[in-house]
């Protein structure tokens, strides 16, 4: 720091000359203008006089101080300018017309909101998986004469709506069933249902299986349906005139010896050629043709006067036959060839422990 020189101030007139320093210090011939206490107070409160002479600066100290002050002024002016520009920019942005930018942002926000809304409210196609197929039809119909079949079944499907947030209304769901071996359609069905969102639901589709008439019972489709829907296990068929069991005693004995018989079914049909043909009539026809011998006159051809009673008689005869096990079930049916083509049960005698 430069040496401090106490400045002296004198008046140009000798008698009234005074020293500022002496005045504050209450010294000298100038006579104090203030009391001692006042002078002491002023002395303590007054800052040292500024440096006004180049003699008061050290070497290079003035230039350094000038440069420092210049830098501080520039920094202050720069900070003030930045603050002013920011303030003017914010205020200016609001003062300008930005309707185009605001409209753009509003449109963007609208489409974002619309997309989110549609994501939750638009239904999605559900997934469908196979469940099971069952039938409780108590009256299925088949006919070898016309080569037709018909029965009802229920198809259970599993509908997966886990990808949809809203309930799904299935107005119509159609099912077509085709046979792989022939490509023929063998069943159809449809349903209407509502499936809750985010769920798995079992739905039942009623299916009507039907087909025909085909050329005959050997048709590929008809034969396949009989094979797949017919009884399981092995079975044999013995056919004779009138379907009377008295004429097949030897066949029944043979089968009983070769295997175990679980069931014997007697089937006679309407419009049979032996219906209402008497034994005497048949014997006469043989004699007129020169056929038969002395035993022919005693034959029982199994004449049929009452179809239901004929079936009941044959079931009873099988039940007491020595060639049929007591454990074997014996059933009797009539096949209606005139109208429905259906089997009608007449009588069933269950075996022991059945």
pLDDT tens for each residue of 36-65: 444 444 444 444 455 455 555 556 666 777
User: Can you give the pLDDT at residue 85?
Assistant: 63
Query: CA 274, CA 262: separation in Å to the nearest integer?
Result: 29
User: Can you give the pLDDT at residue 12?
Assistant: 45
User: Can you give the pLDDT at residue 53?
Assistant: 54
User: Can you give the pLDDT at residue 203?
Assistant: 92
Q: How do 168-178 and 141-143 pair as beta strands?
A: unpaired
Closest C-alpha to 172, from 194, 152, 157, 200: 194
Q: Tell me the helix, strand and coil percentages in the chain, rounded to 5.
A: 35, 25, 40
Low-confidence ranges of the chain (pLDDT < 70): 1-62, 81-100, 144-145, 229-235, 294, 297, 352-354
The residue assigned the tokens 């639901």 is 201
Query: CA 43, CA 113: separation in Å to the nearest integer?
Result: 77
Angle ∠(155,161,167) on CA atoms, nearest 5: 105
pTM of the model: 0.43
Query: CA 215, CA 211: separation in Å to the nearest integer?
Result: 12
Strand partners, 204: 156
User: Can you give the pLDDT at residue 22?
Assistant: 55
Would residue 147 be called left, alpha or beta, if left means φ above 0 and alpha means ψ between -120 and 50 degrees?
A: left
Query: CA 141, CA 86: separation in Å to the nearest integer?
Result: 93
Query: CA 222, CA 182: separation in Å to the nearest integer?
Result: 10
User: Can you give the pLDDT at residue 46?
Assistant: 46
Give the three-state DSSP class for 225: helix
- Here the tokens at position 209 are 């299986």
Alpha carbon of 18 to those of 34, 37, 44, 204, 292: distances in Å?
13, 20, 21, 125, 188
User: Can you give the pLDDT at residue 279?
Assistant: 76
Q: How do 263-269 and 329-335 pair as beta strands?
A: parallel
Would residue 266 be called left, alpha or beta, if left means φ above 0 and alpha means ψ between -120 and 50 degrees?
A: beta
Closest C-alpha to 302, from 235, 241, 239: 241
> Are 84 and 76 contacting, i.e. CB atoms less than 8 angstroms apart?
no
Q: What is the CA radius of gyration of the chain?
A: 62
Instruction: Say how many CA atoms lie within 13 Å of 314 toward its Cβ.
Output: 28
Query: CA 29, CA 16: separation in Å to the nearest integer?
Result: 10
Query: CA 237, CA 186: separation in Å to the nearest integer?
Result: 27
User: Can you give the pLDDT at residue 97?
Assistant: 60
> Are 186 and 221 contacting, i.e. CB atoms less than 8 angstroms apart?
yes
User: Can you give the pLDDT at residue 205?
Assistant: 94
User: Can you give the pLDDT at residue 8?
Assistant: 46
Instruction: Could you list the beta-strand ranges (E) of 182-283.
Output: 185-195, 200-211, 263-269
The residue assigned the tokens 């008698």 is 15
Helix (H) or strand (E) segment spanning residue 82: helix 61-95
Q: What is the end-to-end Cα distance of the chain in Å, rounded? A: 132
């Amino acid at each position: 720091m430069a040496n401090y020189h106490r400045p002296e101030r004198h008046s140009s007139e000798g008698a009234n000359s005074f020293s500022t320093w002496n005045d504050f210090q209450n010294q000298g011939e100038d006579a104090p203008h203030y009391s001692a206490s006042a002078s002491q107070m002023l002395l303590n409160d007054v800052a040292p006089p500024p440096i006004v002479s180049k003699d008061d600066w050290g070497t290079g100290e003035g230039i350094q101080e000038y440069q420092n002050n210049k830098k501080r002024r520039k920094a202050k002016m720069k900070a003030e300018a930045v603050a002013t520009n920011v303030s003017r920019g914010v205020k200016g942005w609001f003062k300008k017309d930005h309707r185009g930018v605001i409209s753009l942002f509003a449109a963007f926000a609208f489409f974002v909101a619309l997309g989110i809304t549609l994501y939750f409210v638009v239904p999605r196609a559900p997934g469908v998986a196979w469940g099971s197929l069952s039938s409780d039809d108590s009256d299925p119909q088949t006919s070898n004469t016309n080569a037709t079949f018909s029965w009802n079944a229920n198809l259970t499907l599993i509908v997966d709506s886990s990808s949809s947030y809203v309930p799904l209304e299935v107005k119509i769901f159609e099912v077509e069933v085709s046979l792989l071996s022939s490509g023929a359609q063998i069943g159809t069905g449809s349903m209407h249902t509502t499936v809750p969102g985010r769920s798995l639901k079992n739905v039942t589709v009623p299916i009507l299986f039907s087909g025909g008439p085909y050329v005959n019972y050997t048709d590929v489709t008809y034969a396949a349906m009989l094979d797949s829907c017919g009884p399981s296990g092995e079975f044999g068929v013995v056919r004779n005139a009138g379907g009377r069991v008295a004429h097949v005693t030897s066949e029944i004995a043979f089968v009983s010896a070769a295997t175990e018989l679980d069931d014997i079914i007697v089937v006679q049909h309407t419009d049979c050629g032996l219906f209402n043909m008497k034994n005497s009539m048949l014997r006469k026809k043989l004699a007129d043709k020169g056929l038969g011998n002395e035993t022919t006159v005693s034959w029982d051809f199994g004449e049929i006067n009452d179809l239901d009673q004929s079936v009941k008689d044959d079931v009873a005869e099988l039940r007491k036959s020595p060639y049929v096990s007591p454990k074997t079930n014996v059933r009797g049916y009539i096949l209606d060839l005139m109208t429905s083509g259906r089997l009608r049960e007449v009588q069933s005698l269950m075996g022991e422990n059945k």
